[in-house]
Structure 1
């Protein structure tokens, strides 16, 4: 038989020396180099676990120690073991006690009379691997919580069927003005304008049927104070608290759209100015150039000169009015240019 070559760190809390020797033999039969540290009572076990100098893969716990026993021992060992799996080894076959221990967080419950090298080894390996997956899951959930709560943009989770808010981050609370408690008594319908509820219902019917992994829409939302905002919604399908949900990231693009509208208004004014330059300005300017050319080429008498000068002055005044209008429009563009998205 090929032994497990991993050096498993095992804490055995057992006051009976005969049982310790038996468990040690079982472990050595299945594991090439088990590292077994024995503690004879709860006090010693607590001391080595709280010092955290040794990282244990599993704890084997006898239920009747000199200084503690039963459910009290189970509860206190769970509290100091942190994420280390605990396997109970006992000589008492009490089904109710076993169920209670497992519900408290014990990883496995083995009877000493039924123990064998294979049974003990399988329980240790199974619970070590299961605990690794559990720890990875906890870390994954913590990363989700951190990303969710620390996001600078509003985020929430809602139930696809009921539309109830199930979780909201601090950014959503600040941006929309509702407290977390208020959000938890609301649905997605409560932040949508009445005229868009039919669109929302149709959209959610489609989501329930097709369940798209990702969805992006632009909609209107209402803050608590009644402010209407334009929001770009990024929606992902998730399972939360055992319920079919959507994770939402909301990007308020109200200021951005206002900025784009201001840019478009500026562009319109620039088009007006360009038209003025190509049409309105050319008329008096062409007249002035024609009059100057006639004055230079023709031998005009005093009366004709005065008449042409009058036309020249009138064209100059007309040009001055047009230029002032162009300057005024350009100044308006400068004012609009001060608008920036927040």
Structure 2
């Protein structure tokens, strides 16, 4: 332990002994030592109220105090400053008692020399630092907002913090010695994590740690939903001695998520049927299927029809996102040649590109580009890339589509030459309802869900999705899938 400077308080009423100690302490240049010397308990307490020395050398027998009383009085005002007790040869038993009461070390005055006094100071400072670190760690664990427990190798609780008491309703006294899974009836949300006893987990299952969502019972028997992590602590031989368990109450978050999903699902399904009828009727009117209408009425109907189509697209996107997040969307994964899928999707989107005065151009195509994916859902992703590129491209500029082999993956990319994506927005590009410039995006149209859905679809098909963008030079979105050789 490297020590550069030490501020030391010497509490000693024997002048000759104090002089000897000072000579030993000042006999070396490194570490530099500053010594303050007082002769009574009252003077020591007064000094400590205004100063924080690094270590205290304390004689237990003072004019105004004696024995353990001296130590207790100093400990009360020393703010965990390490104390080395000074004692006579005949008082060694008292010194040993002082160690159990809070002193870090002791020195027998008649045996003090330069070597052992510095050894004692280094030991006291090192032990004090370790105790302070432990104090800070325990204080932190006591004040974190999630539950923390320490169990032995057999999962019996040895310590828990106040947050666990608040979450479970179970006091520390009631928890100590209990098995956590029995105490709060833990059950993994995934049935595959249960063993034959349902809510009983065997210790060996957690030898490599475990993390997941579980249900539990509060002391008053209401259901809790928890985010649980179990981490083993091993000794130097690799044997597990303890487990650290952290748990966070996610009951409210889960309740809100369920409400949101139910709301989106209900609203989406309830809107879809009447909206289909409205959109169909508007389409008939807008296309003169029910007779020719005046131009002014046609303009109003055309606006209403386009907005009904946008609302239909929003509902479809919401339902797709709901299915993806719930894991209920079926994907028909099979061998596919990318080129025909890309060509078909591009052709189907050319009319859309014409509205924005841009053209799609396929370059760098590979005639045989075999991958495994869901063709319909891949085209849904590519539709999104193409529509975004058309909307944000300058009129007269081409949108470039390419199929390339990138380190064994077949990458389909769509590049535009628009304004590019602002740097501070790039991290949000695949988030739900994200739009880089809300006013511009509203003008261009879109739900803000397309890229989020595309990311979910690509990753669930085993692929990768990404983009490159530079302000003023455009953006390139891509999806890539493992190439199937010799297919």
State TM-score, norm by structure 2: 0.47
2:117 maps to what in 1?
120
Distance across 2 between alignment mates of 1:206 and 1:186: 15
Distance across 2 between alignment mates of 1:262 and 1:186: 39
The structure having more radius of gyration, on CA atoms, is: 1
Change in CA separation of 1:57 and 1:176 when aligned onto 2, cut-off 3 Å = closer
Change in CA separation of 1:188 and 1:80 when aligned onto 2, cut-off 3 Å = same
1:259 maps to what in 2?
260
Out of 11, 21, 32, the position equivalent to 1:23 is 21
Q: Residue 216 of structure 2 contacts residue 226 of structure 2 at CA under 8 Å; is this kept in 1?
A: no
Q: State the SS of the aligned residue for 1:30.
A: coil
Offset at 1:104? 0.7
1:322 maps to what in 2?
none
Q: State the SS of the aligned residue for 2:213.
A: strand
Distance across 2 between alignment mates of 1:92 and 1:26: 19
Out of 121, 136, 139, the position equivalent to 2:133 is 136
Q: State the SS of the aligned residue for 1:101.
A: helix
Offset at 1:43? 2.0
Distance across 2 between alignment mates of 1:259 and 1:91: 75
Q: Which moved more, 1:75-84 or 1:191-200?
A: 191-200
Q: State the SS of the aligned residue for 2:64.
A: coil
Distance across 1 between alignment mates of 2:108 and 2:204: 54
1:40 maps to what in 2?
39
Q: Residue 71 of structure 1 contacts residue 101 of structure 1 at CA under 8 Å; is this kept in 2?
A: yes
Higher strand share: 2
Out of 144, 152, 155, the position equivalent to 2:147 is 155
Distance across 1 between alignment mates of 2:12 and 2:187: 68
1:309 maps to what in 2?
none
Q: State the SS of the aligned residue for 2:62.
A: coil
State TM-score, norm by structure 1: 0.65
Q: State the SS of the aligned residue for 1:8.
A: strand
Offset at 1:39? 1.3
Distance across 1 between alignment mates of 2:246 and 2:187: 23
- Establish whether residue 53 from structure 1 lines up as the match of residue 50 from structure 2: yes
Aligned length: 273
Change in CA separation of 1:186 and 1:42 when aligned onto 2, cut-off 3 Å = same
Distance across 2 between alignment mates of 1:79 and 1:103: 15
Offset at 1:27? 0.9
Cα deviation digits, residues 74-125 of structure 1 (max 9, x gap): 2222222221111122222444323211111111111122211111112112
Change in CA separation of 1:166 and 1:262 when aligned onto 2, cut-off 3 Å = farther
- Establish whether residue 237 from structure 1 lines up as the match of residue 207 from structure 2: no
Change in CA separation of 1:177 and 1:12 when aligned onto 2, cut-off 3 Å = closer
Distance across 1 between alignment mates of 2:109 and 2:265: 82
Out of 66, 81, 86, the position equivalent to 2:78 is 81
Out of 158, 167, 174, the position equivalent to 2:160 is 167
Change in CA separation of 1:86 and 1:289 when aligned onto 2, cut-off 3 Å = closer
Cα deviation digits, residues 150-198 of structure 1 (max 9, x gap): x2xx52426373454843545x656656666666678443433889874
Distance across 1 between alignment mates of 2:33 and 2:171: 54
Q: Residue 87 of structure 2 contacts residue 108 of structure 2 at CA under 8 Å; is this kept in 1?
A: yes
Q: Residue 91 of structure 1 contacts residue 113 of structure 1 at CA under 8 Å; is this kept in 2?
A: yes
Q: State the SS of the aligned residue for 1:110.
A: strand
Q: State the SS of the aligned residue for 1:201.
A: coil
Distance across 1 between alignment mates of 2:166 and 2:125: 43
Unaligned runs of 5+ in 1: 294-329, 331-342
Question: Alpha carbon RMSD of aligned pairs, Å?
Answer: 3.8
Higher helix share: 1
Distance across 1 between alignment mates of 2:91 and 2:124: 21
Distance across 2 between alignment mates of 1:165 and 1:120: 38
2:184 maps to what in 1?
191
Offset at 1:41? 1.9
Q: Residue 5 of structure 1 contacts residue 31 of structure 1 at CA under 8 Å; is this kept in 2?
A: no
